[in-house]
Chain A
Amino acid sequence: EAQVTQNPRYLITVTGKKLTVTCSQNMNHEYMSWYRQDPGLGLRQIYYSMNVEVTDKGDVPEGYKVSRKEKRNFPLILESPSPNQTSLYFCASRTATGGLNEQFFGPGTRLTVL
């Protein structure tokens, strides 16, 4: 089954404790991205990757890092989480040539930073 998976699905942590949210897709997609969703603000792109070893900032990259060492994986790293990073996070993927109507979203990770 074609899918995007994220782990963990729920996480409660404390300020300053480094964490990683994993994202993996099994569709051989080149393009992957991370979004955060906050009430009243819709989905905002954090980082995206056009292919292996190619990443770039989205609209709200501050406080986040990403890496793309393998095509299937695109982890989101919070080196020193803060309460304002409490949010619902979504990973998404699509082919480089495919239309935006072929973008797949992961199930989401709800992060709470105390």
Chain B
Amino acid sequence: QKEVEQNSGPLSVPEGAIASLNCTYSDRGSQSFFWYRQYSGKSPELIMFIYSNGDKEDGRFTAQLNKASQYVSLLIRDSQPSDSATYLCAVNEEGGKLIFGQGTELSVKP
């Protein structure tokens, strides 16, 4: 069974700080990597995806991928209380299936 692992947290950061969320995966053949944000009781919302090694930036969010080490991370700069949510890492599997990690709870304190 292919696995995606995240630290469940909670990760607590002060407002304005950088939040760093990490994810490791077991399948070396995975090609696509996704970060979802999920507020309590709501559906997951895609915030970043990355296919190539290196960094991808979108506003305050940066996704980092290192295929050799099999990890993908999400950095949130200038964290805001509204960023408080659970962040789900997902990795594609053959056939177009997504494997999700268990999620990391982020709390941004004012």
The docked-state distance in angstroms from the alpha carbon of A106 to that of B42 is 9
Chain B residues whose C-beta falls within 8 Å of the C-beta of A100 in the assembled complex: 32, 34, 49, 90, 92, 96, 98
Interface residues of A in 13-68 (CB under 8 A from B): 31, 35, 40-45, 48, 58-59
Bound: A42/B91 CA distance, A: 12
By size class, the interface of chain B is 20 to 34
Interface residues in A, total, Cβ within 8 A: 22
Is A42 a contact partner of B101 (Cβ separation < 8 A)? yes
Confirm or deny: B8 has a beta carbon within 8 angstroms of a beta carbon on chain A. Answer: yes
**Cβ of A90 < 8 Å from any Cβ of B?**
yes
In the complex, which residue of chain A has the Cβ closest to the Cβ of B5? A42
**What 0/1 pattern do residues 75 to 91 of B give for CB contact below 8 A with A?**
00000000000001010
